[in-house]
């Protein structure tokens, strides 16, 4: 793999290059931003590490150049500014269509760089995780379920179904490791069918044992464009004796807003059939208030990056407050994702957020582990 380091401090370039080479990357660096376009012409790089503060130019200009000449490259942003500037830059880079895999704050420690390069070499392996069509056929894909809890009552409101691949050699793989390849190979539809079918069957089994809870599944934009999906889902619900409003489709904010008219069309068809739709990872995309108001969502899920940091970051707390108010004013139920401790739970409950999801209450788990989890949860007093 080829690594390019762009940083005006030569010492830093040398340090990163040395550690990168130890991880098997072929490194080259430049401390002069003017050289960047020419270096990019010389051939593709797998990883680019970019310091946003370069004399004579700024990182924003370099991001534009990279978006023209190095779109597929894994990009790591580096900056001496605070986390907020780095996060804005990260969003800008993503908006340019760049693949930002990390954002590191200066001063850089050797440990940080080591774990960054570890993750790079691992994700390289993930590029080809094997024959996914065969894995689907063999039934190696399965669903894990994570509980969604009502904050004011501690009632289990529902579950979110999350796809996992039980890889024969590599253990349980998360969607990050296989979704892109699955999409490239045109297998997304098949996975979605499997997910919806399995999730509704599980919801039906739960209903039969007296558990009425919603079941959320994650849908990608490409699947959403399938105009036959609403009827297909209605049919599966009917066949399994599950009311359509048990099912909730989660669409990420970024994907939902890519083609607003088309998304609206399909979402409306879902809502007309009583199927719920929720806007996922809210806060990471850029919807205008008008779009948000027009889209027939029933729920809004605040992205975990804001929730997890809310007790320690005033910025995140302000964002969480605004999103809860925004959601409520638009008549949506608001779910906070990424609740990892009691402090965050209490904070979100006190802010009037409706529902919560996160490791503090329950990790995603197999269907078999759900019942013992529910028993345990209900036996606990607050």
Check if the beta carbon of residue 3 is closer than 8 Å to that of residue 49. yes
Query: How many CA atoms does the CB half-sphere of 348 hold within 13 Å?
Result: 36
E-strand ranges in the chain read: 2-6, 26-30, 47-51, 74-79, 99-105, 141-150, 156-167, 171-173, 214-218, 247-252, 276-282, 299-302, 333-337, 355-357
Cα angle 163, 164, 168 (rounded to 5 degrees) comes to 150
Cα 240 to Cα 63, 84, 298: the distances in Å are 50, 48, 23
Query: CA 213 → CA 183, 202, 208, distances in Å?
Result: 30, 11, 11
- Give the one residue of 250, 299, 303, 354 binding Mn ion; rule: CB under 5 A: 250
Residue with tokens 């699955």: 182
The yes or no reply on residue 218 touching Mn ion (CB under 5 A) is yes
Residue nearer to ligand G on the CB measure, 218 or 287: 218
| Cβ distance to ligand G smaller for residue 51 or 303 | 303
The nearest distance, CB 253 to Mn ion, in angstroms, is 11
Q: Taking CB within 5 to 8 Å according to partner kind, which of ligand G, Mn ion, none is near residue 136?
A: none
Stretch that binds Mn ion, among 26-34, 275-283, 290-298, 367-375 (CB under 5 A): 275-283
The residue ranges that bind ligand G (CB under 6 A) are: 146, 162, 174, 218, 280-281, 304, 337-340, 357-359, 364
**Which residue's Cβ has the minimum distance to ligand G?**
358
Name which of 239 and 363 has its Cβ closer to ligand G.
Answer: 363
Tell me which of Mn ion, ligand G, none is bound by residue 7, counting a contact when its beta carbon lies within the kind-specific cut-off of 5 to 8 angstroms. Answer: none
- Applying CB under 5 A, among 255, 280, 299, 354 the residue interacting with Mn ion is 280
- Smallest gap, in angstroms, from Cβ of residue 249 to Mn ion? 10
Using the minimum distance from each CB to Mn ion, give the nearer residue, 59 or 147: 147
Q: Indicate the residue among 337 and 354 with the shorter CB distance to ligand G.
A: 337
User: What is the nearest approach in angstroms of ligand G to the Cβ of residue 211?
Assistant: 21
220 lies in the site for Mn ion, by CB under 5 A: no
Provide, for the chain, the percentages of residues in helix, strand and coil under a 3-state DSSP scheme, each rounded to the nearest 5. Answer: 50, 20, 30
| Contact footprint for Mn ion (CB under 5 A) | 218, 250, 280
């Amino acid at each position: 793999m080829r690594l390019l380091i762009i940083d005006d401090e030569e010492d830093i370039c040398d340090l990163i290059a040395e550690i990168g080479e130890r991880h098997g990357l072929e490194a080259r660096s430049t401390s002069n931003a003017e050289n960047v376009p020419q270096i990019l012409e010389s051939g593709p790089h797998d990883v680019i590490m970019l310091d946003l503060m370069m004399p004579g130019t700024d990182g924003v200009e370099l991001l534009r150049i990279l978006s023209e000449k190095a779109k597929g490259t894994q990009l790591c942003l580096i900056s001496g500014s605070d986390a907020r500037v780095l996060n804005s830059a990260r969003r800008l880079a993503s908006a340019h269509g760049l693949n930002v895999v990390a954002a590191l704050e200066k001063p850089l420690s050797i440990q940080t760089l080591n774990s960054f390069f570890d993750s790079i070499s691992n994700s390289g392996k993930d590029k080809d995780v094997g024959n996914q069509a065969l894995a689907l056929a063999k039934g190696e894909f399965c669903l894990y379920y994570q509980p969604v809890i009502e904050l004011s009552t501690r009632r289990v409101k529902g579950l979110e179904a999350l796809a996992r691949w039980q890889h024969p050699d590599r253990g349980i793989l998360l969607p990050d490791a296989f979704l892109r390849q699955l999409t490239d190979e045109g297998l997304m539809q098949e996975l979605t069918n499997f997910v919806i079918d399995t999730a509704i069957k599980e919801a039906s089994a739960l209903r039969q044992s007296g558990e009425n809870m919603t079941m959320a599944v994650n849908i990608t934009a490409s699947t959403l464009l399938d105009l036959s999906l609403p009827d297909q889902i209605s049919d599966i619900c009917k066949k399994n004796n599950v009311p359509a409003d048990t099912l909730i489709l989660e669409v990420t904010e970024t994907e939902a807003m890519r083609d607003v008219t088309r998304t609206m069309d399909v979402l409306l068809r879902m809502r007309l059939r009583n199927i719920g739709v929720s806007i996922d990872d809210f806060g990471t995309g850029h919807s205008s208030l008008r779009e948000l108001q027009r889209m027939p969502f029933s729920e809004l899920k605040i992205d975990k990056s804001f929730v997890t940091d809310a007790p320690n970051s005033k910025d995140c707390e302000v964002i969480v407050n605004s999103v809860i108010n925004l959601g409520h004013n638009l008549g949506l139920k608001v779910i906070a994702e990424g609740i990892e401790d009691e402090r965050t739970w209490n904070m979100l409950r006190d802010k009037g957020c409706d529902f919560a999801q996160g490791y503090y209450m329950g990790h995603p788990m197999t269907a078999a582990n759900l019942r013992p989890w529910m028993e345990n949860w209900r036996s606990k007093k607050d």
